Amino acid sequence: MPVDRAEFTAALGQYAAGVCLLTVRDGIDDVGTTVSSVMSVSADPPLVAVGLSAAGYPAEVLEEVGTCGLTVLGAQHAIVAARFSSAGRPSARHLLESVPWSRAPGSEAIVLDDGLTALDCRLERLVEAGDHVLALLAVDEVLPGGPAGGPLLRHRGRYVDATGHPPGRP
């Protein structure tokens, strides 16, 4: 019997996951997307995997360019995460007008200055996985983050802080 998609999504929503911002700089613009399907794959060599919508523009641009930045978002970044998860979003630079950022040295992708940490990555390969692709990324450099703070999490379809509350609320 096939699994009901809504039931499956609701079940996985029970799993709290960290939230990252994946950005790619191509020759024309900067593209970014919020991702919560990120996992450590290997320490030697350093590899991470990121789940992306197979039909999405970020996966297409990442495959074409071959490098990206991955910023681990703190609880203070809930608005940034929401901006990058909405459909029809403009250039990454426009979505970050009031947020301090810089460029990762290798990929030249945008990384947030006050993120918990950031990774400068190179695409090893894309692996088809249903309606998504897994981007296997080689980490070329770990970039320091801003002041220590709590992580931004995605839980039950909402962004929350480490206490399970919406960021900025008691």
Give per-residue pLDDT as tens, 73-88: 999 999 999 999 987 6
Average pLDDT over residues 11-39: 91
pLDDT of residue 87: 73
pLDDT over 60 (residue 170): no
CA distances for 141 relative to 41, 87, 138, angstroms: 16, 30, 9
One-letter amino acid of 66: G
Tell me which of 10-24, 64-78, 90-104, 110-124 is least confident. 90-104
- Rounded to two decimals, the pTM is 0.92
Going along the chain from its start, the domains and CATH numbers come out as 18-145 (2.30.110.10)
pLDDT of residue 1: 83
The half-sphere exposure of 55 on its side-chain side, counting CA atoms within 13 A, is 3
